[in-house]
Structure 1
Amino acid sequence: MHLMEGELPTSMSGSCGACINGKLYVFGGYDDKGYSNRLYFVNLRTRDGTYVWEKITNFEGQPPTPRDKLSCWVYKDRLIYFGGYGCRRHNELQDCFDVHDASWVRPPELFIAQTGFCMTEEQIFWGWHNDVHIFDTKTQSWLQPEIKQTRMNDLHYLNLDTWTWSGRIPINGESPKHRSWHTLTPIADDTLFLFGGLSADNIPLSDGWIHNVITNCWKQLTHLPKTKPRLWHTACLGKENEIMVFGGSKDDLLSLDTGHCNDLLIFQTQPYSLLRSCLDCIGKNAIILESQISLLPPKLLQQVLKKITFWTAANHREEQRAQKEETENKYQWISSN
């Protein structure tokens, strides 16, 4: 446990976080008061175990409108934000139909010409974004680059030096199904890992794919479990190129919002090192090896103790899950009979 002090961010969902030079920056999200465009940071390089949060208010430029569910990238001491859902000014909208109010939304100049009433450009509506915003951590300033060319709904990339979209990238060979609410995680300089999502047929997916950005080829991982679909989850890279997936849902959120998950899925993309395999073996068999563990060198002993703690907690959670499933199956059998 670590002590958190200062201007702590409120409890939010859909926020976006990234680390630069030992500082964790958290932007946006959704809390009890609605969408947020606040930016906080905390210095993680502390020696006394106390972390002090600060809210950045003294900045230059115009920050993004309040939003959540956006993506973030770190490049040259800059935080680059893309997309999200939240506030949109009326002058950003085209002539469109509002499905909530069952009315057509018109641009301000057309609204004034047709009705004679005044509408300011700062009136707020809700919608998805496809804009890019940058926060420079050195100058404490926001800026919005001019994006060139086009964006596609297939695989594409944005050159962070020229701010130019690639357009649709031609793929060699087989490609994954069309999907949304998936994760795409870099696992090497030239390799990406795609997992899960919701298919075009509204089917939760559990497939995993490796994409080589040099050959532009996809390769499906056939050893992944078929019974662990995930969408709207998070994924990150571990120390030995394993992918850790947490949270999300196993159901189609558009029709059944009940399958929320809190378990951790770990996928290997390459064999573990010999040291990692040995530590896992000791951690899983700590009771059998109890009399010998204390004989290990101090540096190695610390790693072993961490593994023992991890596997003890993992086994405890697995036992609880098994007991819960057994109880649920028992009640289902009783109710059906």
Structure 2
Amino acid sequence: MDSALERHFSEVVARERSGHTAVVEDNLLYVWGGYLSIAEEEVFLPSDEIWVYDLERGVWQVFHMTGEIPPPMSGTCGCSLNGHMYIFGGCDDNGQTNQIYCVNLTDGKYTWRKIVHENGSAPSPRDKLSCWVHKGRLIYFGGYGHKLMADIDDRNRSFIVDEPSWVEHVLWGWNNEVHIFDPMHASWSEPQTHGRAPAPRAAHASATIGCKGYICGGRVMETRTSDIHCLDLETWTWSEIIPLSPTPAGRSWHTLTPVSDNSLFLFGGLTVDCKPMSDGWLLDVDTKKWREIKHPFENKPRLWHTACPGKDSDVIVFGGSCDYILLIDTGHCNDALVFQMQPYPLFRMCEDYIAKNVRSHEVLRNQLQRLPPKLLTAVQRRMSFYRPSKKQK
């Protein structure tokens, strides 16, 4: 890894949070929902606002949202498709949900729409699940939630019971189900998968490369794992990747992000002994080898954060907690950590160098207006990113 950038924002700053949703569209990072700790209370953040961070200029804006606004919640599963952000599941003041909402990120209106499915059956309520996007469909896996006892089939072991509520005939637990939502037809379906499915789990990480969906680790009953499984999204066949040593420690609440056509970046999480992690690993899915990498944020552990692929194979990590989240004074974060995963193109290198040094370099400052128009515009936008930061209150 060549370098990384960190921003502590000066004027408008997104609130600290964990368990939120974030996606990147057109070099803008959109952040919604989640929760933080105030005194001894866990407080959901407002669901009628969305925070937008310009990854070129380093500037935050907050926008009011309208429409069929979802309840404030954490642990929802968010993804981006055709300029829309979709959220499914999550936990609100009434527990886990199984509703799906979407919002257009490109029209500047930020109007929520609750989707009522026309065909199929929605999955049972759940949170801390994951999603793959493939061929215009949203494919959900796993999570923690509840089912009626009558809906649990002990034969296929797709649901492991954690906590029963005998009065209501309800059981809580982990699942390894695969559900497909087709936005074009507002329909739910459940494919017949083949091969050996991963154990039921939640708080795992997932990523998509081509027609393959990958999951890594998560909480499986009372343990946390680092196993890797792959689902072929064309044939619906599961396979497990048995990597060569060394391998990351088992964990949950981490992230997995595609950074090339054959590699995935794992960052952070919580270990079996509840230790927040700051290590970064690259998995080559072809050679099945993990490689631990050095990075500038090894003193910044994160769990229940988000990680989004950005421009030039950057990975943008936002928010999360630097402490075990069940502590009373959980250290929620609001900084963005930008990991450079590949060498930058020459244009990007020039843009960054000039923008970073033009204020302190007289020759650059005097020659700025002689740059080609396209580069000048890019540099002027980028200069805002490197402006001197004021100390946050």
TM-score class, shorter:
0.7 to 0.9
Structure 1 residue 79, shift from structure 2 partner = 0.5
Structure 1 residue 228, shift from structure 2 partner = 1.3
Structure 1 residue 24, shift from structure 2 partner = 2.3
Deviation digits for residues 138-194 of structure 1 (CA, Å, limit 9, x no counterpart):
221101123333225511111212222213x22223212222221111111210111
1:251 equivalent in structure 2:
323
Q: Report the CA distance shift for 1:220/1:98 in structure 2 as closer, same or farther (over 3 A).
A: closer
1:62 pairs, out of 112, 115, 121, with 121
Q: Distance in 2 between matches of 1:255 and 1:33?
A: 22
Q: Distance in 1 between matches of 2:347 and 2:160?
A: 59
1:44-59, aligned counterparts within 5 Å? 44-46=105-107, 49-59=108-118
Q: Report the CA distance shift for 1:105/1:287 in structure 2 as closer, same or farther (over 3 A).
A: closer
Q: Report the CA distance shift for 1:218/1:30 in structure 2 as closer, same or farther (over 3 A).
A: same
SS of 1:157 mapped into structure 2: strand
Q: Distance in 1 between matches of 2:322 and 2:261?
A: 30
Structure 1 residue 268, shift from structure 2 partner = 1.8
Q: Distance in 1 between matches of 2:119 and 2:336?
A: 40
* Letter paired with 2:290: W
Are the counterparts in 1 of residues 309 and 316 from structure 2 also a CA contact under 8 Å? Answer: yes
2:17 equivalent in structure 1:
none
Structure 1 residue 282, shift from structure 2 partner = 2.7
Which of the pair has the greater relative contact order for Cα pairs under 8 Å at 6+ separation? 2
1:161 pairs, out of 225, 230, 234, with 234
Are the counterparts in 2 of residues 28 and 38 from structure 1 also a CA contact under 8 Å? Answer: yes
Q: Distance in 2 between matches of 1:214 and 1:308?
A: 39
Structure 1 residue 52, shift from structure 2 partner = 3.3
1:175 pairs, out of 247, 258, 265, with 247
- Structure in which a larger fraction of residues adopt helix: 1
The answer to whether the aligner puts 1:131 opposite 2:216 as a matched pair is no
2:261 equivalent in structure 1:
189
Are the counterparts in 2 of residues 98 and 105 from structure 1 also a CA contact under 8 Å? Answer: no
Structure 1 residue 55, shift from structure 2 partner = 1.6
- Which of the two has higher C-alpha Rg? 1
2:11 equivalent in structure 1:
none
Are the counterparts in 2 of residues 96 and 105 from structure 1 also a CA contact under 8 Å? Answer: no
Deviation digits for residues 55-94 of structure 1 (CA, Å, limit 9, x no counterpart):
2114211111222221111112111011122232223276
1:287 pairs, out of 359, 364, 383, with 359
- Structure in which a larger fraction of residues adopt strand: 2
1:217-232, aligned counterparts within 5 Å? 217-232=289-304
Structure 1 residue runs of 5 or longer lacking an equivalent are 107-118, 325-337
Are the counterparts in 2 of residues 207 and 224 from structure 1 also a CA contact under 8 Å? Answer: no
The answer to whether the aligner puts 1:75 opposite 2:147 as a matched pair is no
SS of 1:146 mapped into structure 2: coil
Indicate the percent of aligned positions where both proteins have the same amino acid: 50
Structure 1 residue 50, shift from structure 2 partner = 2.7
Structure 1 residue 212, shift from structure 2 partner = 0.6
1:41 equivalent in structure 2:
102
* Letter paired with 1:302: T
SS of 1:18 mapped into structure 2: strand
Are the counterparts in 2 of residues 208 and 224 from structure 1 also a CA contact under 8 Å? Answer: no
* Letter paired with 2:68: E
1:301 pairs, out of 376, 382, 391, with 376
Are the counterparts in 2 of residues 135 and 141 from structure 1 also a CA contact under 8 Å? Answer: yes
Q: Report the CA distance shift for 1:43/1:138 in structure 2 as closer, same or farther (over 3 A).
A: same
The answer to whether the aligner puts 1:90 opposite 2:149 as a matched pair is yes
Q: Distance in 2 between matches of 1:173 and 1:97?
A: 32
Structure 1 residue 226, shift from structure 2 partner = 2.6
**Once superposed, what is the RMSD of the aligned Cα atoms?**
2.8
TM-score w.r.t. the length of structure 1 is 0.78
1:333 equivalent in structure 2:
none
Structure 1 residue 19, shift from structure 2 partner = 2.2
SS of 2:380 mapped into structure 1: helix
Count how many residue pairs are aligned between Structure 1 and Structure 2: 297
SS of 1:50 mapped into structure 2: coil
Structure 2 residue runs of 5 or longer lacking an equivalent are 1-60, 200-224
Structure 1 residue 258, shift from structure 2 partner = 1.3
SS of 1:307 mapped into structure 2: helix
Q: Distance in 1 between matches of 2:186 and 2:297?
A: 45
The answer to whether the aligner puts 1:264 opposite 2:336 as a matched pair is yes
Are the counterparts in 2 of residues 30 and 68 from structure 1 also a CA contact under 8 Å? Answer: yes
1:331 equivalent in structure 2:
none
1:18 equivalent in structure 2:
79
* Letter paired with 1:320: K
* Letter paired with 1:142: W
Deviation digits for residues 289-318 of structure 1 (CA, Å, limit 9, x no counterpart):
555444444433332222122222xx42xx
Are the counterparts in 2 of residues 246 and 265 from structure 1 also a CA contact under 8 Å? Answer: yes
Q: Which is further off, 69-78 or 147-156?
A: 147-156
Q: Which is further off, 206-215 or 171-180?
A: 171-180
Structure 1 residue 257, shift from structure 2 partner = 5.1
